Chain A
């Protein structure tokens, strides 16, 4: 399983764009990159998944360079409600990804 490295914490002001980078140097050819969000006392919530280049949905964008050794989750114009822990996971697209261990994640704090 690919090991991931993320910053432990980040602070940002409301209205800013936030970029959280995840390193995964030993990503395998078949691996996908998936991001989850977790609020205190809540279960993780799926944000976005991608394999290469750029993926965008109504919540976030995911940028993956050609070598796929890192990825960046981009949250546009954050608000206080985006304060949460963000996890980067690397592994199968579907079946099998349920066994991935969520790492320590990045604790994002949005400042008013």
Chain B
């Protein structure tokens, strides 16, 4: 089965630093998403992205977050000035069409903010 790839698997950063989390969605997918899961808590929707723009974002996705598709394959999540509470597992997901019921998730990036 095709896979969504995320790098790095672990990222440690100092509070206030910028981080970029990278994702390579499945090649023929057009709709991309980021999620967050704080340790022991729920998987939460952050943002959806289509046709090079944000389709929808949650309350969590504030001005310190941004997403980008810098080329034909990568999809990135940038956190401009990290806070301790940004420590979480971040998952990228994609699907080919919005009518598809199945979301394909990557293995995640564990972000630790010190």
Binding site for B on A (CB under 8 A): 32, 34, 38, 41-46, 49, 87, 93-95, 97-104
Contact = CB atoms under 8 A, between A and B. Distances in A.
B95 to A, nearest CB: 8
B18 interface: no
Q: Classify chain B: how many residues form its interface, as a range.
A: 20 to 34
Contacts of B102: 46, 49
Contacts of B91: 43-44
B75 interface: no
B48 interface: yes
- B contacts with A: majority SS: strand
Contacts of A101: 42-45
A41 B42 contact: no
Interface in B25-84: 31, 33, 35, 42-45, 48, 56, 58
A95 B106 CA distance: 19
Contact of B45 (A45, A94, A99): A99
Interface string B72-114: 0000000000000000010111010111111111111010000
A92 to B, nearest CB: 9
B99 A46 contact: no
